[in-house]
A and B are shown apart, each in its own frame.
Chain A
């Protein structure tokens, strides 16, 4: 059994998609039904959205979740 743990870091690319679509954080927040603070927190990587919100975001940007969020695993000793 492998005892080493892996820390998953989720990197958001929402700001890239938002810039491409030329919309503000508030507009995106209104579109997916959350507060602007939540969008800021997701973009800064301080909050991981729920699966439901992630799907809502991917649907809004017409892309898949893997394009919106990149997962980096950092193995711990």
Chain B
């Protein structure tokens, strides 16, 4: 890890509270309100923090590119992130076993997500006169698979009691869940193996 990349990483980490502060400030007071305010101090602070936010994002993009392009940097950073200690053959063995466990667990989660993203469940109210044996509701279960994310056909909403189509999570949440699952499974399995020994 070069010294510059090390400094950038530390900067990104330690200035993160300031970035969060700007984001929280932005939720309570819009940029236009700050610009219109008579308080010069608030205006200057806002300008400095906004420029800092831009700089922070530029540095973040730089580090993400280095992470993608430099295998040595990626290896060192991810070893730190996953708190992997690979000091001798037994720890290497534990990491291998934990990686195997993590790989299969993540694969299981992905298969689970894929299944639920293809399942459609709809419970709707039948129109008057279409009730069968006094039953007024209808349950539809189906599977759908689409290569492209086309606009979904809108169903009439008034009679639907419950409907689920594909995953209810946003793409960001799915990615966060996968990262947490990936790291959590690795920590759990490596710790368990060390305790067993």
B interface SS class: helix
Provide the residues of chain A in CB contact with B194, threshold 8 Å: 37
Best-buried of B87, B194, B196 by chain A (most CB within 10 Å) = B87
Hey, which chain A residues are within 8 Å of B91, CB to CB? Answer: 35, 37-38
Q: Which of A1-9, A15-23, A43-51, A65-73 contacts B (4 or more CB under 8 A)?
A: A43-51
CA A47 to CA B197, docked complex, whole Å? 7
A34 at the B interface (CB under 8 A)? yes
Give every chain B residue within 8 A of A33 (Cβ-Cβ): 88
Q: Is B89 an interface residue (CB 8 A)?
A: yes
In the assembled complex, the CB of A30 is this many whole angstroms from the nearest CB of chain B, namely 11
B197 contacts A34, C-beta separation under 8 Å: no
Q: Is A41 an interface residue, CB under 8 A from the partner?
A: yes
> Would A35 and B87 be within 8 Å (CB), given that A41-B197, A46-B197, A47-B197 are in contact?
yes
Closest to A33 in B: B88
Q: Is A31 an interface residue (CB 8 A)?
A: no
Q: List 29 A-B contacts (CB under 8 A).
A: A33-B88, A34-B88, A34-B89, A34-B90, A35-B87, A35-B88, A35-B90, A35-B91, A37-B90, A37-B91, A37-B194, A37-B197, A38-B89, A38-B90, A38-B91, A40-B197, A41-B90, A41-B197, A44-B197, A46-B196, A46-B197, A47-B90, A47-B93, A47-B197, A49-B89, A49-B90, A50-B89, A52-B89, A53-B89
The 3 closest A-B pairs by CB, nearest first: A34-B88, A38-B90, A46-B197
Given A34-B87, A35-B91, A52-B89, 16 more pairs with CB closer than 8 A: A33-B88, A34-B90, A35-B87, A35-B88, A37-B90, A37-B194, A37-B197, A38-B88, A38-B91, A41-B90, A41-B197, A46-B197, A47-B90, A47-B93, A49-B89, A49-B90
